[in-house]
Structure 1
Amino acid sequence: MSACGIYLSGAILIVLALSARASLADDRHDCEKLKGEASLRACSAVIEAGTHDAGTLAIAYLNRGLEYFDKGHYDQAINDYSASIDLAPMNADVYNNRGNAYQAKRDYGRAISDFDMALHLNPRHALAYNNRGIAYANRGEFDRAILSYDGAIAIDPAYAGAYNNRGYAYARKGAYDRAVDDFGTAIALDPGNAPAYRNRARVYQNLGRYDLAVADYRQALDIRPSESAAQGLKVSEALLAAKTKEIEEGAEAETATFRQMPNTDLTGPMIGKIAAGNLDQCEKACGKDQACNAYSFNMWNSVCFLKAEATLRFLDPSTVSGLKGETYPPPISNAMMAMLRFRNKAFPGDPVRASLQNRFEDCEASCEASEACIAFSFIKASSMCQIFEQAEEYVSDEGVDSGAKRQVVN
């Protein structure tokens, strides 16, 4: 009986050992091959087992970092990428991935450092060149961004995303012809590239090529519906209709025509400042003055600024600007974006979207993340977040806190 018992005990130990080895092998396989929660759990099991070599652990930390990044848990992703780098410091891909996580946190300095390291380890890392270009563009350093995109394209001439990103940088510099060329190349390489169609449409709209802008916005919406493309199409169609009507009537307007730009202020030499009750009065004042080629009308204070020329445009929720005739649009400012806060104030009018948010800060973040949002109001009692495309002058209301986007220009 004793011998039999000893034999069974040994067999159980062998089975348990084999089962443990099989479990470890399964975790490693699932960590490397699966996605989502299954991969995250398996990678955690590999890391916590304490029996794997450095190479296996480096891959487990990398894969778990990827899963955390996909969930938006950027700090946890950075911690795991850092652990993977400690175990395998020559892997350029991990530096590139950690750079993406820093970029998602808007820590562009650290992101650029990681992309630089990825390129040091692998000078032909096209993704790292492209991602570094995005970081430079986010800092408003468009010349450096363009050089980085050049590097990505030199390595991979079929890299549609890099052409689209370089086109965006050219557009922000006001180099519209180069921007159109790059967006066209991106579309030729990837006909399903909705952002490239949308970006080219914006440039065409700035150039007054409204028919081409409408066509590109419609193509972008067919590929992938988006709020920004829908709003862009709406504006371009209205501008095209106005231009078409003028042509069909076969006569020049009795007064000067203007290209209006909502939520926009202009820098440039000022020739006059007048009180104006509304936008129409401001526009007529500029139209009657031969020296005036642009205006900025502050809706909140009913003040009209007449300008000899427009040298730069920037986002301002209180202002509508106009350019006379075929005046060429000036470059867009690369100044930092700020969220202005107005406590106990409310924006009147009908919002384009409303949703429940836990806090004022969540409502503010929702506006900041939306290209169509220029201002918001957070109703304290109901936790309702209202999103506005244009901001009329705010009114006092102790039950509401509000905010608006504005570029900070000295």
Structure 2
Amino acid sequence: MNQNAVLKRGIEYHTQGQLDQALVDYSEVIDSAAAEDAELMCQALYYRGSVYQRLGEHQRLTDDMNRIIECRGEVHIELVAHAYSMRGESYVAQGQLEAAVSDYTVIIESLEGLPTGMVLSAILCRGESCFAQADYARAAEDIKRVLSSQWLESTSQQSAQELLAECERRLRKR
């Protein structure tokens, strides 16, 4: 079977919640495509990492995202940005906020040519991570940047405004 078809089948299993079957298909694609098709391999790594995220298997997720990041220059930059983002989310879930901030900062400052929405999402995630670290000034700066872009939908806009207000309240207390 063609490896693109195996990847698509894995995605179908994944969306149906059949995670074990999805992992088998993703792993097959990764093993088969590694030498000849970096883009296909990295797509499968990303989806497999997504399964690991759902399962709470953070080290495996991190290992897969690291492999994608190592392919920077060989694959679409958006895929690399998604890898940094997913790894950042995993770091947040594990309480490794400095590592998360670092990953979000790479997306914001070092990856050229990303869609505006991806960059703004990374800025918002970095702001939330800074807030969790009690770095309210940096969090407020990031949140203001996102709010000024008019990028967020109304519900998210309201949540961001509330977070900004809380940052400002805590900064005044200092």
- Give the structure with the larger strand fraction: 1
Residue equivalent to 2:136: 176
Gaps of 5+ in 1: 1-51, 210-325, 329-410
C-alpha distance in structure 1 between counterparts of 2:115 and 2:141, whole Å: 14
The aligned amino acid for 2:13 is Y
| AA aligned opposite 1:151 | V
Where in structure 2 are the equivalents of 1:10-409 lying within 5 Å?
52=1, 57-89=2-34, 90=38, 91-122=41-72, 124=77, 125-153=80-108, 154-155=110-111, 156=114, 158=116, 159-187=119-147, 188=149, 190-192=151-153, 194-195=155-156, 197-205=158-166, 207-208=168-169, 327-328=173-174
Cα separation, partners in 2 of 1:146 and 1:206, compared to 1, 3 Å: closer
Give the number of equivalent residue pairs: 157
What's the offset of the Cα at 1:122?
A: 2.4
Question: Which structure's CA Rg is the greater one?
Answer: 1
Q: What is the alpha-carbon distance in structure 2 between the residues aligned to residue 193 and residue 145 of structure 1?
A: 26
Q: Do 2:101 and 2:129's aligned partners in 1 also have CA atoms closer than 8 Å?
A: yes
CA distance in 1, matches of 2:59, 2:135: 26
Q: Name the CA distance, whole Å, in 1 between partners of 2:83 and 2:103.
A: 9
- Could you report, residue by residue, the CA deviation over 1:337-373 in whole angstroms, capped at 9, with x for unpaired residues? xxxxxxxxxxxxxxxxxxxxxxxxxxxxxxxxxxxxx
| Counterpart in the other structure of 1:11 | none
Q: Which one has the bigger helix percentage? A: 2
- Structure 1 residue ranges, 4+ long, deviating more than 4 angstroms after superposition: none
CA apart distance, 1:186: 2.9
Equivalents in 1 of 2:155, 2:19: separation in Å? 27
Kept in 2, the 8 Å contact 1:180–1:200? The answer is no
Cα separation, partners in 2 of 1:97 and 1:82, compared to 1, 3 Å: same
CA contact (8 A) 1:171 1:203 kept: no
- Cα deviation for residue 197 of structure 1 reads 3.9
Contact 1:133 1:145 in 2 (8 A): yes
SS at match of 1:208: helix
Higher relative contact order (CA 8 A, sep 6+): 2
Q: TM-score, normalised by structure 2?
A: 0.78
Q: Distance in 1 between matches of 2:32 and 2:5?
A: 11
Amino acid at match of 1:138: A
- What is the CA–CA distance in structure 1 between the aligned matches of 2:106 and 2:127, rounded to whole Å? 14
Cα pair 1:146 1:166 within 8 Å, conserved: yes
Cα RMSD of the aligned pairs, angstroms, is 2.4
Report the identity percentage.
26
